[in-house]
Amino acid sequence: MGSRYENKACGLNMSEESLNEYYGSENNIAEIYTEALLTHYYTTIGFFFEEGQLLGDAFKIQNIPTIINNGRYDMVCPTVTAYKLHQKLPLSKLIIVEEAGHLASEAPIEKELLKAIRDFE
């Protein structure tokens, strides 16, 4: 997420102190700029998806075992969308991660992602 606002919205427990530290450091300027460019690019092209394409094309991967991890308080990818995708994928397992937003770096999401990886070992 390329902006302070996006980071605050994406992380459930994103503290002002951590944001001030990240955005106040000269060492992070290149990373912040790169994230902003990537966010702008992918947003303007619709993330390579047409409206409704993910759910509409879910049948193409319906035979692939899938684990869907979604933070209960994810403001970017709402839980209802994860649920709708799960309904279209009969081999999927839906994990709603309590006390988590959108960021993979949040401890509860990270824990569930690692469990998902181990499930496929």
Q: How many folded domains does the chain comprise?
A: 2
Give me the pLDDT at residue 1, please.
Answer: 46
Q: Are residues 67 and 115 in the same domain?
A: yes
Give me the pLDDT at residue 5, please.
Answer: 81
Per-residue model confidence as pLDDT tens digits over 44-99: 999 899 999 999 999 999 999 999 999 999 998 999 999 999 999 999 999 999 99
* CA–CA gap between residue 119 and residue 113 (Å, rounded): 10
Range(s) of the domain holding residue 82: 51-119
SS3 70: strand
Q: Are residues 13 and 41 in the same domain?
A: yes
Per-residue model confidence as pLDDT tens digits over 32-49: 899 889 989 998 999 899
Q: Are 39 and 47 in contact (CB under 8 A)?
A: no
Residue 62 exposure: Cα atoms within 13 Å on the Cβ side? 10
Q: Are residues 42 and 55 in the same domain?
A: no
Please give the average per-residue pLDDT across 93-107, as a whole number: 94
Q: Are residues 108 and 59 in the same domain?
A: yes
Please give the average per-residue pLDDT across 16-39, as a whole number: 89
Q: Are residues 59 and 18 in the same domain?
A: no
Give me the pLDDT at residue 68, please.
Answer: 98
Q: Are residues 39 and 56 in the same domain?
A: no
Q: Are residues 21 and 75 in the same domain?
A: no
Give me the pLDDT at residue 2, please.
Answer: 54
Give me the pLDDT at residue 71, please.
Answer: 97
Please give the average per-residue pLDDT across 91-108, as a whole number: 95
Q: Are residues 37 and 77 in the same domain?
A: no
Q: Are residues 24 and 57 in the same domain?
A: no
Is the pLDDT reported for residue 18 higher than 90? Answer: no
Q: Are residues 93 and 73 in the same domain?
A: yes
